[in-house]
Amino acid sequence: MTEKPTMIAFQDVHKYYGDYHALRGITATIKAGEFFSLLGPSGCGKTTLLRTIAGFEGISSGAVMIDGRNMAGVPANQRPTNMVFQSYAIFPHLTVGENVGFGLRRAGLTKDALAARVGEALDMVGLKGYGARAAHALSGGQRQRVALARALILKPKVLLLDEPLSALDKKMREQMQVELIRLQRQVGITFILVTHDQEEALVMSDRIAVMFEGEIAQLADPETLYRRPNSRKVADFIGTMNFLPASILSETGGKLEVEAQGFGKVTLEAEQAPGAASGEGAAVGFRPETLTILFEGQTATDRESMATIEEVVYYGDMTYYDVRLDGTEKPIRISMRNVFGRPVLDIGARTRVAWSPGALVLFR
Ligand SMILES: Nc1ncnc2c1ncn2[C@@H]1O[C@H](COP(=O)(O)OP(=O)(O)O)[C@@H](O)[C@H]1O
Ligand SMILES: [Mg+2]
C-alpha cells in the first residue's frame, strides 16, 4: 500500500487562553482519508485543537498546515474544513432539505442543481426522501444525520466532529458509530473525531492521539495503543490494565530481563517497554483477557502461576475474577469468556493461571 499524503500537520502548536496554557507543543500529522480521533479526558484540549484546524481558534505559536498550506491568517470560511458540532444546531423552522442546503444557498446554484446536491447528501446519510420534512420533528439520531449531511454537502477535504454522538443513547450511539465509519469509507475524506470515550475511539479510528493536559501522550493505531501503551496513564485511560511491581535485572541486545511480582523472571522484547522512564519505579502491565484461569485438565501453553480467587463478578457471557497471584500484595483482574457447562469458580478457591511474557508491557 502506498503511504497516504499528509492532510493536517501540527508543528509545535501552543495555545494560551490568557495565562492558561491549553495546548503545549502539539506536533502530529493526520493523513488524507484517515479516520483520526482526538481522545482524552474532559478539559485536555481536544476541542481547542480541533478548532485550530477549523480556524475558529487562533494559535499562540507554531503552525497548523492543511494540505500543505500554512493556515496562519486564513479565516474559517476559506479553509477546506467543515465542522459538526457537539450540539448539532438544526434550524427547527426549516425543512430537512433547507437545513442541509443552508451552506449552499449563496453558491449560485440553480434550484435543480441545489435540489440534486441536497438529495445526494441526504442519500449519503441514510435520509433519502426526508427533504420535505419539518426539521423539528426529527429524532436525535436523524438530527445527527442532518448535521452530517449539512457538513458533507459543502464537500470539505476534512470533516471535524466534536463529540457528535455524545447526546445519543447507547444503542443509537453504537449504530451511528458504525454508520460514521461506513460514511467515511464511502466519501473517503479525512474525518477528525473528538471523543472522551475510549471505546468509541478504538472502534472507529485508523489512528488515535491520546491527549492529557494539552499534550499528546501517545499517537498510534488502536491495537498499538491497547497492546503497547507508552505510559501508565495511557494504559489506564484505555481499557483496564493490571499492574504488578517489577525490577529490571538487565537490558542487553534489545531484550530485558525482568523480575516481576507474581510472574518471576521474564524476558521481554524492547517493544514491550515502549515508554520513557517515569520515576515511579518499574511495573509490568497486562490486560485482563491476556491471563487464563486453568480449569481441571487444562494445561498452560506458556507459563503458569498459582493464585487465589478473591472476587467473582458474573456478567453472563463473561466472568471477571479478581485473583491474587502467590507472592503478590494486591489482586489483579482476569476476564474469562464463559463456556456452557463450565462452573464459575468460588471466592477463596485456589487456581492455576496461565500467562505469557509476550502479553506483558514494562513501564519504568
Ligand atoms: N475560550 C476559552 N477561554 C478560556 N479557557 C478556555 C476556553 N476554551 C477552553 N478553555 C480551557 O482550555 C482547556 C481545554 O478545553 P477544551 O479544548 O474545551 O477541552 P476538551 O475539549 O478536551 O474537553 C480547559 O481547561 C478549558 O477550560
Ligand atoms: Mg470538548
pLDDT tens digits, one per residue of 281-334:
899 999 999 999 999 889 989 999 999 999 999 999 999 999 999 999 999 999
- Beta strands per DSSP E along the chain: 6-17, 20-31, 35-39, 61-66, 69-70, 81-84, 158-162, 190-195, 207-212, 215-220, 242-252, 255-260, 264-269, 283-286, 292-294, 303-314, 318-325, 332-337, 350-355, 361-363
Candidate from 47, 52, 161 with most ligand 1 atoms within 8 A of CB, to mutate = 47
* Residue 17 Cα to ligand 2 middle (Å): 15
The model's pTM: 0.92
CB 256, CB 272: distance < 8 Å: yes
Average pLDDT on 203-210 reads 97
CB 207, CB 221: distance < 8 Å: yes
Q: What's the rounded Cα separation, in Å, for the pair 99 and 125?
A: 14
Q: What's the rounded Cα separation, in Å, for the pair 267 and 283?
A: 14
C-alpha cell at 7: 492532510
Question: Which residue minimizes the CA distance to atom 6 of ligand 1?
Answer: 17
* Residue 41 Cα to ligand 1 middle (Å): 12
Paired strand residues for 61: 14
* Residue 78 Cα to ligand 2 middle (Å): 23
Residues with CB under 6 A from ligand 1: 17, 20, 22, 40, 42-48
CB 156, CB 189: distance < 8 Å: yes
Atom of ligand 1 nearest to the CA of 50: 17
The position carrying cell 434550524 is 91
pLDDT tens digit sequence for 59-80: 999 999 999 999 999 999 999 9
Q: What's the rounded Cα separation, in Å, for the pair 288 and 154?
A: 45
Atom of ligand 1 nearest to the CA of 211: 22
Question: Which residue minimizes the CA distance to atom 27 of ligand 1?
Answer: 43
The position carrying cell 451511528 is 176
Secondary structure percentages of the chain, helix, strand, coil, to 5: 25, 35, 40
Question: What pLDDT score was predicted for residue 4?
Answer: 86
CB 353, CB 291: distance < 8 Å: yes
Whole-number average pLDDT of the chain? 94
Sheet with 292-294, side-by-side order of all strands: 292-294, 350-355, 303-314, 318-325, 332-337
Q: What's the rounded Cα separation, in Å, for the pair 225 and 291?
A: 19
What are the helix and strand counts (H, E) for the chain? 8, 20
* Residue 211 Cα to ligand 1 middle (Å): 13
Average pLDDT on 218-246 reads 96
pLDDT-derived band at 88 (thresholds 50, 70, 90) equals: low
Domains present along the chain, CATH in parentheses: 1-80+156-231 (3.40.50.300), 89-153 (no CATH), 240-364 (2.40.50.140)
pLDDT score of 1 more than 70: no
Q: What's the rounded Cα separation, in Å, for the pair 286 and 235?
A: 9
pLDDT score of 6 more than 60: yes
